[in-house]
Structure 1
Amino acid sequence: MAEEETYFSANYPVKIYGLSEQSLTIEFGTLINKNLLALVTGFNKLLLQNPFPGFTTTVPAYSTLTVIYNPLIVSASDLAGETCYDKVSNYLKNLGQVKKEQSVVMADKVVIPVCYGGDFGPDILTVAQSNKLTVNEVIEIHTAGLYTVFMIGFVPGFAYMGGMDDNLATPRKAIPDAKIPAGAVGIAGTQTGIYPMQTPGGWQIIGRTPLKMFDINRLQPSLLKGGDQVTFKAIEITIFNEMMQHEYENQHH
């Protein structure tokens, strides 16, 4: 088996370190790029399909995968190693020698409808002026992009997306807003993201989606997950209101 064909290879030296008594982190690298994201996403799926005794869940990020486990079950298992950390890390190292399957890292494609500007996008003019663009050009460039979800974090369901055109890059606000509504689509630096619930935040808000980005009652609560490919589609306020009504009716039936 060629070394470069496995998840833990010389091409991307992997570090494993303890995080707490019930978790450890696999670091695939320190960069933010699609190759590392593919490794994180692929290995995460492999681990979910092949859990060890005591495995609880994982938290994927830009270039790391945190593995959470039940130390009582791990300790009582016949996994090789003295401590819980040894047992889990040895298991992960062995699993990391599995040959990479291209099908494992196939990304889901998700289209997010957005009503841009107006009350829904109070900062779109800031983004336009900061980049010497018109508001329409901001919308055209934002909807033309193909974005990759690098990480879910900050609050449950908040997707950090890379792949945004540099012409839209805009700094965060110096003073964060106290309340950003659920569904708000924002820009911070070279990333774009969607607020899944009302929360304080400092991103430049350019629009809002009627989709519910996080719902604890769904089988997969977060609409987006690491590795997903996202495109944005501009919609009119009438369509936005219709979709919001549809979401409301679905929740109350």
Structure 2
Amino acid sequence: MSFFMQAVGDSAVKIQFQDDVTPSLNRRIQLFSRKLYNHRIEGVVEWVPAYDSLTVYYQPHQIRYRDLCQKLDQVFQLESEANEAGGGLITIPVVYGGDNGPDLERVAAVNELSADDVITLHTRNTYLVYMLGFLPGFPYLGGLDKRIATSRLEEPRGKISAGSVGIAHEQTGIYPIESPGGWNIIGKTPIQLFDVHKENAFLLRPGDEVRFSQIDETDYKMIEQQISDGTFKIGTVIKDAKLS
């Protein structure tokens, strides 16, 4: 795998991978991120993985740019460890259509499908969390069936409620908090993706995999109540993404 490093201002290094954006590349970026966690470099503050890059922020008075690049390359070359296995497989329940999915019919019409076809295709695949961005905990999910890929709305909505599940081009995602947005909203989940009061504020992280499961309004209200009562537990299967 080829990559190069470049300075981003005076306190960050961008590691740019030159491979095509694929699940395999992204998993290697997540593995590199976990190596950085296990092999801390003095002076490094944080790092942010993206589709085909990873940006490392550092304190220039603690470590020089050239020295940091050398250490980053050393960490990258390290053998993977057992505790650097991959993320989880998480199932997200979604109620589709109606007031919860006002753009479901639009996605169906644009792609010459029925609403049921869109739901079937959306719940069939397993999606990879390539990165978080835009909003706290907003997952950019790759793996959408191209038969339901749909361009963004020409006029974004001023308010989209938390939990809304949308499609934009060949991606799907979930709004973690209320926000303006231009994605096609096809459903809504009662699951909280972002909770500032929790130690781990984000439900999902880059490298996780997501599946969607269709529920009805009754299920939605029941899960919503269980979340409020503190009795709901979302299922997570830990997957081994160790790469040689």
TM-score normalised over the length of structure 1: 0.86
What is the DSSP-based 3-state SS (H/G/I as helix, E as strand, rest coil) of the residue aligned with 2:51? coil
AA at the equivalent of 1:143: T
Q: Distance in 1 between matches of 2:18 and 2:204?
A: 23
Q: Which residue of 1 aligns with 2:21?
A: 32
- Residues 43-122 of structure 1: pairs in structure 2 closer than 5 A: 43-72=32-61, 74-75=62-63, 84-100=64-80, 104-122=84-102
1:46 deviates by 0.5
> How far 1:85 sits from its partner (Å)?
1.1
Counterpart in 2 of 1:16?
5
Unaligned stretches of 5+ in structure 1? 1-11, 76-83
Does the aligned pair in 2 maintain the 1:38–1:105 contact within 8 Å? no
Q: Distance in 1 between matches of 2:34 and 2:87?
A: 12
Change (3 A) 1:34 1:102: farther
Aligned length in residues? 231
Shift of 1:29: 2.4
Identity of aligned residues (%): 38
CA contact (8 A) 1:147 1:229 kept: yes
* Higher relative contact order structure (alpha carbons within 8 Å, sequence separation ≥ 6): 2
Measured in 1, the distance between the counterparts of 2:5 and 2:104 equals 42
Question: Is the aligned partner of 1:188 residue 2:140?
Answer: no
1:170 and 2:150 equivalent? yes
Measured after TM superposition, the shift of residue 36 of structure 1 is 1.1
1:230 aligns with 2:210: yes
Give unmatched runs, 5+ long, in structure 2: 232-244
Distance in 2 between the 1:234 and 1:226 partners?
23
CA contact (8 A) 2:94 2:215 kept: yes
Mean CA deviation greater in 192-201 or 215-224: 215-224
> RMSD of aligned C-alpha atoms?
1.7
TM-score, normalising length: structure 2: 0.90
Q: Deviations over 1:127-184 (max 9, x none)?
A: 0111111111111111111111111101110100111111111110111111011000
Answering whether residue 209 of structure 2 is matched by residue 220 of structure 1, we say no
Secondary structure of 2:230 counterpart: helix
CA distance in 1, matches of 2:96, 2:206: 25
Distance in 2 (alpha carbons) for counterparts of 1:194 and 1:30 = 27
Q: Which structure has the bigger radius of gyration?
A: 1
Distance in 2 between residues matched to 1:201 and 1:16, nearest whole Å: 33
Partners of 1:217 and 1:59 in 2: CA distance:
22
The residue number in structure 2 matching 1:206 is: 186
For the 8 Å contact 1:44–1:60, the answer to whether it is kept is: yes
Name 1:9's counterpart in structure 2: none
The corresponding residue for 1:5 is: none
Letter in 1 for 2:230: N
Moved more, 27-36 or 145-154: 27-36
